[in-house]
Structure 1
Amino acid sequence: MRSYRRRFLLVPALLCALAVLAALPAGAVGDRKGAQGRNGTGTGGDSVLSAQVVQLYADAARATQRYEKGRRGAEVQRAKAQRAEALLERERREIGVLHEDLGRIARAQYRSGGGMPLTAQIILAKDPDELMRGQHVFSQTNMAVGNAIEKSRRAEARLAKDEAKAAAAWQNLEKRNAELAELKEGIEQKLEQARWQLQGQADASVAAGSCSGAVRLDQPKRDLTSEWVAPLESYELSAAFGSGGLRWANLHTGQDFAVPIGAPVRAVGDGHVVRVSCGGAFGMEVVLLHADGYYTQYAHLAAVAVDQGERVDTGQWIGQSGTSGNSTGPHLHFEVRVTAELGSAVDPVPWLTERGVRLG
């Protein structure tokens, strides 16, 4: 009785399997086998190149951070130098005023007899008290003016020294920024070369209609607080769902993200890989099935980092962006579908918004 029941259940299971195989597009079965590669991974060259692109992205990001930090430091130093120059100019104006005052005092003393010899002042003074008062005022005036001039001279010397130090520091920062810019440019050149090598391998796989296998990237530590994320960390939104144009036979069925070749593409949520395909309009693509029954598609890739049947977590890198298939430039074509097949797509932007992911 027990064996009869097993035979009874086997019939619908076989029918379901045949139906699934029949529903798969041409080449999908071969794609799955090709995607496994040797021991479920891609060739060594593919993995090395993909890892190189990811590493170059990280190097370029670090170089950019260093460049921006140096630039901000230079701006702070320039502001300090400008304040020092303004203070120096103010002190110079004050010194000019003091010099003018000193000239007026000297002229007034000359007119009032302050510049006369002491013998003449004694003869002309009405009494000793008048003579002493005049001498005291003259002495105090000279001392005050002398102190002010000396103080201004010291301030001017100090500020000139500070200005020279600020200018030297500014020159050093400019030199450092130039070195960082050169470093960044070198990394970007290497990155551009590696990107197109990676894309060349993807185009070869698409032309052959079979993926070379998953490249295994070193996954970053994921400390996510949400169950859903955007498919890319950094991007610009381009063609939207439902838009029309000469590029598509019908309306656009997904949301495009403009990114360079080789940018890590993330699973928007936990799920299973139900398709890894290389060929056709979508080029190299990955389709995931999520627990809520929706499917997500990631198309025009330059590399895939997962195999069919594999489980993925939210934020896991599942591939790298590219421009394979029917694509006019590097971007990620992202779809949300009710089924795994083309023609059941829904607008991915409100779908992600409902799950706490706002694009833009």
Structure 2
Amino acid sequence: MRSSRRRPLLVPVLLCAAAVLAARPTAADSESGDAPAPDSGLSTQVARLYEDAAAATRRYEEGRHAAEAQLGEVRRLEALLGRERREIGALRDDLGRIARAQYRSGGGLPIAAQMVLAGSPDELMRGQHVFARASLAVDNAIGRSRRAEAKLAADEARATEAWRAVELRRGELAALKKGIEDKLEQARRQLQGQADVSVAAGSCRGAVRLDQPRLHFTRAWVAPVETYTLSAGFGSGGDRWVNRHTGQDFAVPIGTPVRAAGAGRVVRVSCGGAFGIQVVLRHADGYYTQYAHLAAVTVDQGDGVSPGQWIGQSGTSGNSTGPHLHFEVRVTPELGSSVDPVPWLAERGAPVG
């Protein structure tokens, strides 16, 4: 009798328990970053500022080359000014020689006085001829000197203006470049701040879907970042590692786009622990690649990726002493199965160094 009364209550109890279990997040859900996607504004801003900084750098370099060309023109003008100054000095010497020659030819008397004292019409005519020739020589010399001095003044003004234009252009380009770099640095700090919050909570904020660059790779494998400095290498020792370093570190600023080294599928997106924010990819040849210490991710678990596709933005989350990408190649998705990534990439046509 008791069992017949209790049986109707068993069904709703089981249904409630099933509903509770279904609503609880699993460990896989927490690790794979199934939390709601974050506001992508900051990551997008960082990516855009990277593009702006690259464009500003290109303009700066173009402007620098233009400034160098202007400097060449300035130097040409300065050389011209030097020649003109020497020519003016020579003209003044000519005037002095003409004056001295007139004095000597007149026996110490001015030409006008010789004409007044002329004893015959022929002597007077000769005096007039000498006077006219001397006057023409003096006038020509004075005219050349004045024209040369006027040209010198004009060229000096041109040189001064050219220098002013060079300095102004340099200042404008430097200010433009610094303004963008300052904005980028501020956005980087904010992006890393978001990453630190996620790591402290042990919960990923979700993928940020950035506009992907147009992929133009002809190779199946690429370096995980485009511009970098290699830092800690595979197998190196240090206080931060229990045994040896298990990957290759690429020193890059926070927010640098991190690329998939090859085609594959995302098998893990996790936050927290020594690696901070990390992504693990599985590739068709059975190898796995890991990208750690990120500031943000742009993929979700299960996504397929192409060589060179952006999968995250670099940072300094987790056990990290500075901004860098920790890159590993593994034979399993787990820590402890890594191989040296530098020769591994080189064998696949993507040397780094």
What TM-score do you get using the length of structure 1 for normalisation? 0.80
Is 1:344 aligned to residue 342 of structure 2? no
Aligned residue type for 1:36: D
1:268 is matched with 261
Distance (Å, rounded) in 2 between the aligned partners of 1:52 and 1:86? 49
Shift of the alpha carbon at 1:61? 2.3
Unaligned ranges ≥5, structure 1:
1-25
322-331 vs 73-82, greater mean Cα deviation:
73-82
Q: CA deviation at 1:120?
A: 7.3
Q: Which residue of 1 aligns with 2:111?
A: 116
Gaps of 5+ in 2: 1-25
Partner Cα separation in structure 2 for residue 309 and residue 348 of structure 1:
23
Partner of 1:289: 282
Q: 1:51, 1:217 → 2: CA distance?
A: 6
Name the aligned partner's letter for residue 55 of structure 1: R
1:243–1:86 Cα change, 3 Å: same
Aligned length: 325
Shift in CA distance, 297/147, structure 1 to aligned 2, threshold 3 Å: farther
One-letter code aligned to 2:57 = T
CA deviation after TM superposition for structure 1 residue 327, in Å:
0.3
1:320 partnered with 2:313: yes
Of stretches 85-94 and 65-74 in structure 1, the one that deviates more from structure 2 is: 65-74
1:209 corresponds in structure 2 to 202
Return the alpha-carbon distance in structure 2 between the equivalents of residues 100 and 175 of structure 1. 40
CA contact (8 A) 1:215 1:304 kept: yes
Gap change, CA 1:339 and 1:155, over 3 Å in 2? farther
**Pick from 44, 60, 78: which aligns with 1:85?**
78
Instruction: Say if 2:91 and 2:145, in contact at 8 Å, map to a contact too.
Output: no
Paired residues of 1:265 and 1:319 also in contact (CA < 8 A): yes
| Cα separation, 2, equivalents of 1:308 and 1:77 | 55
Give the alignment partner of residue 34 of structure 2, picking from 33, 36, 42: 36
**Does 1:105 pair with 2:98?**
yes
Instruction: Determine helix, strand or coil for the equivalent of 1:285.
Output: strand
2:288, 2:336 → 1: CA distance?
Answer: 12
2:175 aligned to 162, 182, 196, which one? 182
Of 225, 229, 232, the residue aligned with 1:236 is 229
Answering whether residue 59 of structure 2 is matched by residue 66 of structure 1, we say yes
SS in 2 for 1:36: coil
For 1:31, give the aligned amino acid. E
Cα distance in structure 2, aligned partners of 1:124 and 1:236: 98
8 Å Cα contact 2:102/2:134 also seen in 1: no
Could you say if the C-alpha distance between residues 269 and 141 of structure 1 is closer, same or farther in structure 2, counting changes exceeding 3 Å?
farther
- Partners of 1:171 and 1:29 in 2: how far apart? 63
Q: Secondary structure at the match of 2:111?
A: coil
Structure 2 Cα separation of the partners of residues 31 and 123 of structure 1: 124
- Aligned residue identity for 2:31: D
Q: Which residue of 2 aligns with 1:221?
A: 214
Distance 1:255 1:137, change over 3 A: farther
1:18-60 Cα distance to aligned partner (Å, 9 max, x none): xxxxxxxx9555312xx2334xxx12x2x11110111122222
Distance 2:115 2:172 in 1: 73
Moved more, 61-70 or 298-307: 61-70
Q: Which moved more, 1:313-322 or 1:97-106?
A: 97-106
Once the two structures are superposed, residues 107-146 of structure 1 have per-residue CA deviations (whole angstroms, 9 ceiling, x without a partner) of: 1332232853453796599x88xx86x9878866764664
> How many angstroms apart in 2 are the aligned matches of 1:85 and 1:286?
60
Does residue 347 of structure 2 align to residue 354 of structure 1? yes
**Offset of 1:278 from its aligned partner?**
1.0
User: Is contact 1:88-1:156 (8 Å) kept?
Assistant: no
Q: 2:130, 2:344 → 1: CA distance?
A: 89
- Give the letter aligned to residue 97 of structure 2: R
Decide whether aligned partners of structure 1 residues 170 and 98 sit closer, same or farther in structure 2, where only a CA change above 3 A counts.
Answer: closer
Native 8 Å contact 2:94 2:141 kept in 1: no
User: Which of the pair has more CA radius of gyration?
Assistant: 2
Task: Answer with 49-58 or 101-110: which moved more.
Answer: 101-110
Mapping for residues 252-267 of structure 1, pairs under 5 Å: 252-267=245-260
2: CA distance, partners of 1:245 / 1:143: 91
Deviations 1:225-278 (A, max 9, x none): 222221112222211222212222222111111111111101111111111111
Alignment of structure 1 residues 298-309 onto 2, 5 Å: 298-309=291-302
Q: Give the deviation of 1:177 after TM superposition.
A: 3.5
Segment of structure 1 superposing worse, 219-228 or 311-320? 219-228
Question: Is it true that 1:50 corresponds to 2:46 in the alignment?
Answer: no
